[in-house]
Amino acid sequence: MKIIEKPVEIEKGDSFKILLSKYGALALDKQENISELIGESIGDLDIEKGIVSFGDFELPVQILGFYMQDSKQWSWAWDNEDIFGKDLIKSANEIKSIGEEYDILEFTSPLLHADFNDCHTLAMTAIGILGMDGYYGVSEEGLDIFVLIKSDLVKENNSVKKFRDTFYTFQKNFNIYPKIAFESYTKLKGYGFKPHDDFALAKIGESRVMAGFTERGNVTRIIMFGEDEQ
Listed as ranges, residues in the chain with pLDDT below 70 are: 1-4, 227-230
Specify the pLDDT at position 230: 46
**d(Cα 149, Cα 84) in Å, to the nearest integer?**
16
* 35 and 138 housed in the same domain: yes
CA triple 211-33-30, angle to 5 deg: 55
Shared domain for 123 and 51, answered yes or no, is yes
* Bridge partners for 207 per DSSP: 204
Q: What is the value of pTM for the model shown? A: 0.92
Q: In terms of domains, do 144 and 202 share one? A: no
Asked whether residue 11 is assigned to any structural domain, the reply reads: no
Whole-number pLDDT of residue 228: 53
Chain segment 122-137, per-residue pLDDT in tens: 999 999 999 999 999 9
Do 33 and 115 lie in a common domain?
yes
- DSSP secondary structure letter of residue 57: E
Q: 92 with 181, same domain?
A: no
Clarify whether residues 80 and 175 are in a common domain.
no
* Residue 45 domain-assigned (yes or no): yes
Range of the domain at 130: 16-149
Domain finish residue from 123, 149, 175: 149
Please write the tens of the pLDDT for every residue from 161-197. Answer: 999 999 999 999 999 999 999 999 999 999 999 999 8
Tell me: do 24 and 125 sit in the same domain: yes
Q: Are 35 and 137 in contact (CB under 8 A)?
A: no
- Specify the number of domains making up the chain: 2
Considering the domain boundaries, does residue 4 fall inside one? no
Boundary of a domain, candidates 149, 180, 197: 149
- Nearest C-alpha neighbor of 168 from the set 131, 127, 209, 133: 209
By the 8 A CB rule, do 132 and 146 touch?
no
| Last residue in a domain, options 149, 180, 209 | 149
5 in a domain, yes or no?
Answer: no
34 and 142 in a single domain? The answer is yes
Question: Nearest Cα to 86, choosing from 126, 51, 120, 47?
Answer: 47
**Confidence (pLDDT) at 2:** 46
Please give the single-letter amino acid code of residue 129. Answer: I
Please indicate, yes or no, whether residues 112 and 46 belong to a single structural domain of this protein. yes
Residue 100 domain-assigned?
yes
Torsion of CA 177, 180, 181, 183, to 10 degrees: 160
Looking at the structure, do residues 145 and 175 belong to the same domain, yes or no? no
Query: Is 230 among the domain residues?
Result: no
Establish if 9 belongs to a structural domain: no
Q: Are residues 82 and 188 in the same domain?
A: no
Residue 115 lies in a domain: yes
Task: Give the distance from CA 32 to its chain's centroid.
Answer: 11
The verdict on 137 and 183 lying in the same domain is: no
